[in-house]
Amino acid sequence: MKENSEITKGKTTEGTKNNYKYNLNPMKIYKLHKEKLGEFLQKLSEEFAVYAPVESDGVSAFIELEPGQEPALELTRTQRPPKEVFYPQTEIMLHFDKDEVQSTEYKGKPIAVFGVRPCDAKSFVIIERVFVEPKYDDTYWSARRNGALVFTLACNEPLQSCFCNWMNGGPFDNTGSDVLITDIGDEYLLEPISEDGEKYLAGNDILEKATEANVKAAQNVRKKAESSMSKAPKLDTLKETLDSLWNEPFWEEISAKCLGCAACTFSCPTCYCFDIQDESRRGKGARIRLWDTCQMPLFTKEGSGHNPRPTQKDRLRQRYMHKFSYMVETQDEFGCVGCGRCVSFCPVNIDVRSFITGILETAQNKRGRQ
Amino acid sequence: MENLVDSIKKIFTDENLELLIGFEKGTLPLCATPCFIESADAADRLIFDFTCHNNLAKYLNDEKKRKGNTRKVGIIAKGCDARAIIHLIAEEQFERENVVVIGVPCEGVIDPSKLRKTLKGKEITEYKVNGDRIKLIGNDFELELDRAKLLSDSCLTCRYPNAPQHDHFIGEKAEPLTVNDEYAAVIEFDGKSAEKRWAYFEKEFAKCIRCYACRNACPMCYCEECFVDRNTPQWIGKSNDLTDTMIFHIIRVLHTAGRCVDCGACARACPLDIDIRLLGKRVEKEVMERFDFTAGLDFETKPAMAAFDENDKDEFIM
Amino acid sequence: MKNTYMPLPVRVKDIRIESDDKMLRTFDLEFVNEEDAFDYMPGQFCQLSIPGKGEAPFGIASSPTEKGFLRFTINRVGVVTTALHYLEKDEIIGIRGPLGNYYPVEKMKGQNVVIVSGGFALTTLRSLSVYLCDPANRKDYGDITLIYGARSPGLMIYRDELEEWEKKDDIDVHLTIDEQVEGWDKHVGFVPTVTKEIAPNSKDALVMVCGPPIMIKYTLPVLAELGFPMERIYTSLERRMKCGIGKCGRCNIGSKYICFDGPVFSYSELEKIQEEI
């Protein structure tokens, strides 16, 4: 019986705001020489289905590694979000054949996600709070997530569009990780964060113990990465501010250029909304779950034809309110990990960062005028 | 662009515009963003250069949805944008007198997909243009290349860099590129075997995430209810299963046949850098050859798919 | 652990056409497997599932005190509801439930209960009314008043039953239609107007309001005038739903999921929500 999914073993937030957590505790860190990475992954794949960032046909995503395949760890961010490892875009839930209905959840090897970045590792925690809770367990998520190991690769080179530090995260955040990996040049340092991570690394004879000098190097890399990011504005009043600005004209202004596509929601690691569709032919078929987006009118259109979110302004407002206000109420945490994908992919350059700084400014001006 | 702001301010006032759609500087390097102005003073924000890659004609459709066809709207138009506007008016989507086409000379626009592919996962902090060359500068790298390598494919074979018809034109008209054959890429592709061609499209569309950025960026996609959203009957599935995805793209291309101006906005909008344009370009060639029609050149000519002429080829009729 | 998305098989036991325009049908369903039968409370809903067509949420119209069947009244508007309307007796469909929360029957104990409803929103309120009036429960509650309106007599649901209830003395039933028709000798007028006329006493009372948005819009001020505070006015919200268990995000309104935190909410809970309810 799955327990309350404030997920256990070091990945939890205990219901409090998830602040940027890094240890780099010299006592517990292992070291892996880069040329032994293939060996390490090969051993990992004996027990686990290993997913890692791979670029193929010009698109980078987390894909199950073929034997001997090298992951593209130099990519700071994959185009497709790694949530699809546990929550694929299209997943068959049930197969039916006349009156027989069968559930088709994942039954393969436990999954290991290797080389995911701290923002994306945190996103697993955020989504899990919705999908797994005492009353209802999302069977399909849990089938993939149970027994999974998350090997997070800390970011030495955050990108320009990254803003994890705005969202209480950081390039070396270990939230959601079983193991935190740091690239210090010729070697990777592997730090166990959770009990499962510790258990896995402990018996691994490909690894050595890291030296103090190694750990120092890691700390330097961390400091360099953190200082390369643009300073985060203070966001502790963001929720209250948003709540007070529901009817402000800026919503109309920002949403004017929005195309209403799903580029932001489908590339977002913390977006979890889905649709359920049935497809069948002559009594045989399937019930399928697919990613859905609140940015399209069909999302809330009712059978009567009435739509409570009729304009793009309503829908764009929903996205931002959900991520920066409603989820703060339900999870005590922003529903955004600052990965920067929406910033990078929005065809019309709607930038959530300028949205945030913009509304804080609007609120300040309003206060100034009062 | 010199004089842009002053010219727009004058046009705004002289034409009694209620809305002007243009571009302003974006938040990322090499990226402009659409900008909506409702008073002449606000025109200070406007820019126009090769980073202005969106097709603004699409926003006329939004304006119509939001405010009907009631306001007088000025719109900054590259050649392809203007052709799109002209075609929309030829399709009777707007009253001609409510739209003020303000042409600007275009020398091609940046394709974000190409930029992503060039940078291979990295991002830049700034860029420097030096004639035909551009220098891309990141935190710890520099890359110099021909600017043309980053331009949208549609720009490389563009024969209409200036609005074919306009109410105003700001600046000197751009020289059309010397294009030997606009359809060279299509013809080369057509030479491949059917299996190879199908395999190519399967490979490209397998990446599709069904975000509909391509459809929503397109000025010609203005249907109240798109065929992908209909569920009585359900024309196609909503998953990213390859068969459903291919049907979506194929049918969309057929729906834009004879209407597409090859602005390339669809390909530039795609977050996964899929080759969206190729199929549409082939259909465009077909329309050109069968009906001697190029979309969006003047307000009066009826669109090929919306008109019948006795001289139309009819060899397909038994 | 049981798969929360797996529907359980139920058989169609009885079908009744509720409205003159035939767009409303009532189905009584029974479980194919005895052990699947679940307990529920008035106000909860179920997802009815037709493999190949889809699933849709419906409020449970039967009361837990009525054994052996689950009753649903279905309005035909789309793919799933049309498929449901084509069902015949003994056909088997799927059900998932009970979902959502329920009317605050504990808070109602010792209090008077006023029920205001319109159109086909009466479904879960029928469940509530039958539950409260059940001999095992009736003594726990004070006066029960039901005000129900429809556009015309032909569009009223449970009409025969309601006319039976009019004769009972453990529930005070007021039926109204929009415009006078021949043979109608009861109230005439919109529900908010009739509610104002009847003027139920707000002292020691809770009120459940369910109906089309426009009815609710005009009834709320009437209730406020009668002295009902926001925390004693409850409603059952509706939005497009898919999963029914608070995960797919479709019925998200403010920080709540209607399927999971609701569908029953008091108006004081809804005050904070800025989106159109």
Which residues in chain C are closer than 8 Å to A273, comparing Cβ atoms? 248-250, 252
3-state secondary structure of B79: helix
Cβ contacts (< 8 Å) between A137 and chain C: which residues? Answer: 1, 4
Residue A6 pLDDT: 35
Supply the pLDDT for residue A295. Answer: 95
Please state, in angstroms and rounded to a whole number, the distance separating the CA atoms of residues C215 and C209: 9
Neighbours of chain C (3+ CB pairs under 8 A): A, B
Q: How close, in Å, is residue A310 to chain C by CA atoms?
A: 11
Q: Is B231 on the interface with C (CB under 8 A)?
A: yes
- For residue A185, report the phi and psi dihedrals to the nearest 5 degrees: 115, -90
**Residue C211 pLDDT > 50:** yes
pLDDT tens digit string along C75-99?
A: 998 889 999 999 999 999 999 999 9
In chain B, which residue's Cα lies nearest the Cα of C79? B232
**∠ CA A212-A181-A164, rounded to 5°:** 115
Any chains having at least 3 CB pairs less than 8 A from chain B are A, C
Q: Is A101 on the interface with C (CB under 8 A)?
A: yes
Confidence band of B70 (pLDDT split at 50, 70, 90): confident
pLDDT at B201: 95
Q: Do A138 and C4 touch (CB under 8 A)?
A: yes
Taking phi first (over 0 means left), then psi (-120 to 50 degrees means alpha), and beta for anything else, what does residue A193 get?
alpha
Q: How would DSSP label each residue in B222-267? A: --SS-GGG-BTTB-S-SS--HHHHHHHHHHHHHHTTTT-----HHH
Q: What are B197-220's pLDDT values in tens digits? A: 999 999 999 999 999 999 999 999
* Percent residues over pLDDT 70 in chain A: 95
Residue C78 touches partner B, C-beta closer than 8 Å = yes
At residue A188 the predicted structure's pLDDT band, cuts being 50, 70 and 90, is very high
At A53-99, the pLDDT tens digits run 999 888 999 999 999 899 999 999 999 999 999 999 999 999 999 87
Edge-to-edge strands, sheet with B133-137: B126-130, B133-137, B142-146
Q: Which of C4, C239, C242 sits opposite A136 (nearest CB)?
A: C4
Closest-CA residue in chain C for A239? C255
> What is the band of A10 on the pLDDT scale with cuts at 50, 70, 90?
very low
**Please, which pLDDT band fits residue A109 given cuts at 50, 70 and 90?**
very high
Domains annotated for chain A, with CATH where assigned, are 26-86+106-227 (3.40.640), 238-273+294-369 (no CATH)
Q: What is the dihedral of CA C268, C270, C274, C277, to 10 degrees?
A: -140
Residue A330 at interface with chain C, using a CB cutoff of 8 Å:
yes
Residue A22 above 80 pLDDT?
no
If we measure between CA atoms, which residue out of B84, B88, B82 comes closest to residue B101? B82
CB proximity A156 to B under 8 Å: no
Q: Does B311 touch chain C (CB under 8 A)?
A: no
Rounded Cα distance, C182 and B228, in Å: 48
Domain positions in chain B: 4-111+151-306, 112-150
Interface residue A104 vs chain B (CB under 8 A): no
Whole-number pLDDT of residue A11: 33
C161 φ/ψ angles, rounded to the nearest 5 degrees: -65, -40
**Range with the poorest average pLDDT among A11-15, B137-141, B234-238, C171-175:** A11-15
For chain A, the average pLDDT equals 90
In this prediction, residue A26 carries a pLDDT of: 72
* CB distance B154 to B111 below 8 Å: no
Q: In whole angstroms, what is the distance from residue B90 CA to residue B94 CA?
A: 9
At A221 the pLDDT is: 94
| A76 at interface of B, judged by CB pairs closer than 8 A | yes
Q: What DSSP string describes B122-163? A: ---SEEEEETTEEEEE-SS-EEEEEGGGGB-HHHHT-S--S-
State mean pLDDT over C145-151: 94
Residues in chain B within 8 Å Cβ distance of A349: 26-28, 31-33
The answer to whether the CB atoms of B122 and A90 lie below 8 A apart is no
> Which residues fall within 8 angstroms of residue C66, CB to CB, at 6 or more apart?
C130
Of C101, C97, C100, C84, nearest to C7 (Cα)?
Answer: C97
The Cα of B150 is separated from the nearest Cα of chain A by a number of Å equal to 16
Contact B2, B172 (CB under 8 A): no
Q: What is the rounded end-to-end Cα distance, in angstroms, of chain C?
A: 35
B79-119 pLDDT, tens digit per residue, is 999 999 999 999 999 889 999 999 999 999 999 999 999 99
The better pLDDT of the pair A6, B5 is held by B5
Instruction: Tell me the sheet residues that pair with A111.
Output: A49
The mean of the pLDDT values for chain B is 92
Which residues make Cβ contacts (< 8 Å) with residue B17, sequence separation at least 6?
A: B11, B72, B73, B74, B100
Tokens of B86: 């002209």
Summarised one tens digit per residue, pLDDT across range B48-66 is: 999 999 999 999 999 998 8
At C7-21, the pLDDT tens digits run: 999 999 999 998 888
For residues A150 and A2, the answer to whether their CB atoms sit within 8 Å is: no
- C109 pLDDT band, cuts 50/70/90, is very high
Domains and CATH numbers, chain C: 8-98 (2.40.30.10), 105-236 (3.40.50.80)
Residue A70 CB neighbours (<10 A): 12
Which chain A residues contact residue B238 at CB under 8 A?
275, 277, 290
pLDDT at B233: 84
Residue A269: which of A154, A64, A119 has the closest Cα?
Answer: A119
User: Could you give the ipTM of this predicted complex?
Assistant: 0.93
Q: Please report the residues numbered 39 through 78 in chain B whose beta carbons come closer than 8 angstroms to any beta carbon of chain A.
A: 54, 58-59, 62, 66
Element (H, E) at C10: strand C8-17
Distance from CA of B89 to the nearest CA of A (A): 21
Confidence class for position A1, pLDDT limits 50, 70, 90: very low
For B188, residues 6+ apart whose C-beta sits below 8 A from its C-beta are: none
Phi, psi for residue A324 in degrees, rounded to 5: -110, -5
Residue pair B142/B100 in contact (Cβ under 8 Å)? The answer is: no
Q: Please tell me the predicted confidence (pLDDT) of residue A12.
A: 34
Whose CA is closest to C127, among C153, C110, C146? C146
pLDDT computed for residue A4 by the predictor = 34
Specify the pTM. Answer: 0.92
Would you state the pLDDT for residue C161? Answer: 93
